Amino acid sequence: MNDDKKFTLWVLAWPIFIEMFLQFLLGTADTLMVSRISDGAVAVVGISTQLFSAVTILFMTVANGAGVLIAQKLGARKPEDARTVAIMSINISVVIGALLSLVLYLFARDIAALLQVPAALLPMADTYISIIGGGMTLTAAMAAFSTAIRNTGNTRGPMYIAIGMNVIHVVLNYAFIYGAFGFPQWGLAGVAVSTLVSRLLATIVLAFLFVHSFERRVGWKDFLRFDRPLFRETMQIGWPMGVSSASWVFSQLILFSFIAMLGAKELAARTYMNTMESFCFTLGFSIAMALQIQIAHLFGAGRTQEAYRAAYRGMWTGLAVVMTNALLLYVFGSKALSLFTVDEEIVALGVALLGLNLLLQPGKMINMAMGNALTGIGDTRFIMITGVISLWLLATPISYYLGIRLGWGLAGIYVSMIADEYLRGFLVLRRWKSGKMLHPSAASPGRQTISAQS
């Protein structure tokens, strides 16, 4: 397959979509099985997931910056530079992951208490966080391998591996939760163990795929390489991405702590809604991820006119899909919630949020598509600045004021999330329309240029 076909939006997006959609289905099955333990177990998994998302920012800063640079270098016909960047990202991510593993394993209970986990759920949270967190090295390795491989244009490989990993995880979940196939009945601890086993197997296969992902095979000695100029380029793109992601994830973590202040039922309802909302934006997010890879490759090749137009095609395609899915969720959401829990109060809390979700998803899609387009050309500082301002001066304080102080509960927190997504979406859309970062002064010599009216 030649580069043009390999880096078209559809060729890049459909494996990412299938991977994410199957992860969604298997994640839903996972949540259903955990809900058979208790609604408290679901609440623990929900807030722990936010914690793990927060700490992964530390190694994803390098991996994400490397991913953009790999696609740009391949577009610029510099495969050796792309290979070196990928190797460095693996090394650094794994070291950071190992340090995080140690901290999460040793201080799991203290961290759970800091996150306002209800006292009755602390023993369960301690067990779950220490096991999953103790294996954060595997999460770091998986993320770095997958990001590097995808940005070479191979989105199918990580898809197949993710499918296998999630199938193994769900099967082991069933075995450990119900004591099936002769396995011990370990409850939530078993869910954590099955997660580690499936991630270990996935990491091994990803490593094998990674060493064959470039023109020249990656050997053991290559992992000793360090190229300072390329690392500087990686971090110039990556550190603003890290700050942006950290702002979003930590703000979500604080929002979850606000929800925990409302009570265990509200925390469980939000966790169930998180699972269901994944249905809305799974395809939209896969389009946004593919768009970033495509635009980075086009930008690296100097084809800025094509990159400029591709962003709008990706955004409109994503909006059509996301809105259709959000409408389906609005219509069938109450029935879907009843599959997760028999607690009528939790179901009622979730149903009350379905209408607000209709407003939330379009703003999120605009934000994802145009934000990823800007990321693909390396304009990550603008995204960082707007994200920090919107999340910490708008979303977080308004969440507390409406949700806690005024007593609007989950609805108040959703209103603040909607306001944040639309503000950031408007700003990144306006930035892309200006064509500022594709101007000759911001581009390499020889690149095509565009005007705002292109």
Note the pLDDT tens digit of each residue in 318-376: 999 999 988 988 888 888 888 777 788 888 888 888 889 889 999 999 999 999 999 99
Dihedral in degrees, nearest 10, Cα atoms 158, 163, 164, 168: 140
* Mean pLDDT of the chain, nearest integer: 85
Burial grade of 20 (CB within 10 A; 0-12, 13-18, 19 or more) = buried
Question: Over the range 185-198, which residues count as b (16 or more CB within 10 Å of their CB) and which as e?
Answer: ebbbebbbbbbbbb
Confidence of residue 452 (pLDDT cuts 50, 70, 90): very low
* CA separation for the pair 343, 192 (Å, rounded): 25
Domain-located, residue 21: yes
- Please tell me whether residues 297 and 179 are part of one structural domain: no
Domain-located, residue 443: no
Percent share of the chain, pLDDT over 70: 93
| Per-residue pLDDT, 440 | 43
Domain-located, residue 426: yes
- Please tell me whether residues 221 and 81 are part of one structural domain: yes
Q: Closest Cα to residue 258, out of 421, 404, 392?
A: 404
* CA separation for the pair 433, 454 (Å, rounded): 9
Range of the domain at 100: 1-226
Summarize the confidence of residues 91-106 as an average pLDDT.
Answer: 92
454, pLDDT greater than 50? no
Domain-located, residue 447: no
| Per-residue pLDDT, 208 | 94
Last residue of a domain, one of 192, 226, 260: 226
447, pLDDT greater than 70? no
> Comparing 61 with 285, which gets the higher pLDDT?
285
Under DSSP, the state recorded for 404 is I
Q: Tell me the per-residue pLDDT of 220-238, one tens digit each, with 9 for 90 and over.
A: 888 888 888 998 888 888 8
- Please tell me whether residues 190 and 291 are part of one structural domain: no
The domain tally of the chain equals 2
Domain-located, residue 163: yes
- Please tell me whether residues 12 and 123 are part of one structural domain: yes
- Please tell me whether residues 334 and 246 are part of one structural domain: yes
Assigned token pair, 301: 């090749």
Helices 9-35 and 264-300 sit at what angle, rounded to 10 degrees? 160
Domain-located, residue 179: yes
40, pLDDT greater than 90? no
Assigned token pair, 207: 């490593």
- Please tell me whether residues 337 and 213 are part of one structural domain: no
Q: Which helix (H) or strand (E) holds 162?
A: helix 156-178
| Per-residue pLDDT, 279 | 72
> Comparing 145 with 409, which gets the higher pLDDT?
145
Domain-located, residue 448: no
Number of neighbouring beta carbons within 10 Å of residue 451: 10
Q: Tell me the per-residue pLDDT of 296-308, one tens digit each, with 9 for 90 and over.
A: 989 988 888 899 9
Percent share of the chain, pLDDT over 90: 34
